[in-house]
Each structure stands twice: as structure tokens, then as C-alpha cells.
Amino acid sequence: MIIDAHLHCTGRESADDVLRALDDAQVDVAVLLAPFLDGDHSLDDPASLRRGNAHLARLVHGHRDRLVGFAVVDPRDGAAPRDLRDAIEGLGLSGVKIVPTGWYPDEPRVQPVFAVASELRLPVLFHSGIFIDGRSGRFCRPTFFEVMRDHPGTRVALAHVGWPWTDEAIAVALIDLIHGVPPERCRFRLDISFGPPPPYRRAVLERALQVIGAGLLQFGSDCFLPCAGSEIARRVGWVRELLDGIGVAPADRQRIWHDTAAAWLGPAIVPRERARALAEQPPPLAALAALPGGWLGTPRAMARLCC
């Protein structure tokens, strides 16, 4: 089985689009991130993030055995703690993606969002490392996320192995292992969606395997929907080629493809029977109310970046 733990929504995809792409790529479960990078959604516009979260809630409704929805909020916004709670408890989303842009993770003003994530025992995905669009990555160094140890209910994944600070990311993930914590209970794990450019990838993955092991590494395609399944499959192929070249054992491959992310997501993956029962219920009213007519209209060009 394969879990794609990092797949971006844009607001232009349908559930059928997503499921078809996953089937074509032979991916079993995907973590879908609410839109925040296209022309209609921005981290600087909290109202647009609420619309994006509502779109995602409608998208995953009835498919939660395969589609795990992660809200996006901007912790600088005073309403963000409430928005996160509403997204989880009202819209039925299952985790949160957070991108430090213009703020540091240890700032007091952003701790209320982390506190809500801890209270709700959420899986949290952070962008870590450089941005490829030229924005400053100085807010996203892996050690800055150690503040999440003050929020013990969270389970944290750092995207892109924190490139170019990959050794720093590996060190952050290592600490719990040093203290005897089993991988499935560690606070941090690393998403290997490709921040490192091709010349770095094998060395980065090989070192991470040597230091923290496959139990703290998880696959993410970092693709943008809607996309063909062949695009996701191509990125699966990149990882498979690396694993073959390194000579990774089957049990460790299973951890990277599935087990690490499954432990991170926990109850966010709903058993198929429960998902079918949920499909017979109407989607959350809040999700419908937040989607004005025609909102999924003419697509706009996207400014894509590594997040």
C-alpha cells in the first residue's frame, strides 16, 4: 500500500478527479492540503483559506478511507485558532498544514493555533526549508519547529527533509529516538517530498535512513491537483529508483510508503465501512454555506512553489 502524504489542492479538482489520479498512480490513500497557492487562495487572505477549507471538506466527504483532508490556516490571524477548530470539528477535516511566511514558529502570537492542534491531537505538516519562488526560507529552519515539543498532542511532519538544512531536520527527528521513544510515538518525522534537487536526493535519503531509519520517513509527491495519475506515478518512480539504488529492504520500503504516514495520521484514515456510512450523510452545512455559487469557476494560473 502507498500513502501520498503531501498532495496539494487548488480548488479546481473534483473527488472523481482525485480518485482517478490515485487509482492510475496505484496510490491507496492521499493527504490532501486545502488550497492556498492559487490565484483564489492566499496565506495572506484568511477568508480565502476558509473557503479553501470548505472546498476540501466537500471534496473528501464520503471518501475518508482514501482522502484525508488537511486544513490550512495562517497563525498570524487572530481568528486562526477558531478557524482551525471549525475546520476539524465543524467541517470534518483531519489535520493541518502550516507554512511559516513572515513569522517564526516560536513566536508567542502563533502559539494559540499550535495549542488547538495539540488539544485536538492533530497531525501537523509544516513546510520546512527553502522556498523555490524566492520568498525567504529563513522562517522555516527545522530547529525552529522544536517549539512543537511544548504542544504534546501534536504529531509533526517536516516537509522536504528541510532542504537545504537536511542534517538539521534529521537531528530534530532523532532526539526522541535517542531517548528510547518508538518511531510511531515520536513527535517528528520527515516528509521526503523533493525539496532536495536531483543531485542531492540519494545522499540525503541515504543519510536519513542511516541516522533515523525508515520509521520516521514518509513519501509525499508534492503534486498539484488536478493532475494526471501519471504525474504522481512519476514521483513514486523517483523514490522507487532511489530505494533500489540504495538497496533498501522490503520492510523499510513498507515503512516509507505506508507505515510511517499511517502512524502519523492515526484515526484520520477512516475504515472503508465507516467512510461508506459517512457518504450517505449530507456534507457539513458549514462547508456548503462557505461555497458561494460559481466559486469553482474559471481556473487561474498558479504560482507553484515547494511547500
Taking the domains of the chain in order of start, what are their residue ranges?
3-289
pLDDT tens for 94-116 read: 999 999 999 999 999 999 999 99
pLDDT tens for 125-165 read: 999 999 887 788 999 999 999 999 999 999 999 999 999 99
- Asked whether residue 272 carries a pLDDT value surpassing 80, the answer given is no
294 Cβ contact partners less than 8 Å away, ≥ 6 residues apart: none
- CA–CA gap between residue 148 and residue 152 (Å, rounded): 7
Q: How would residue 302 be classed by pLDDT, with cut points 50, 70 and 90? A: very low
CATH of the domain spanning 3-289? 3.20.20.140
Residue 123 phi/psi, 5-degree rounding, is: -75, 135
pTM given for the model? 0.90
Instruction: Give the torsion sign (CA, 79, 141, 146, 268).
Output: positive
- CA–CA gap between residue 252 and residue 74 (Å, rounded): 35
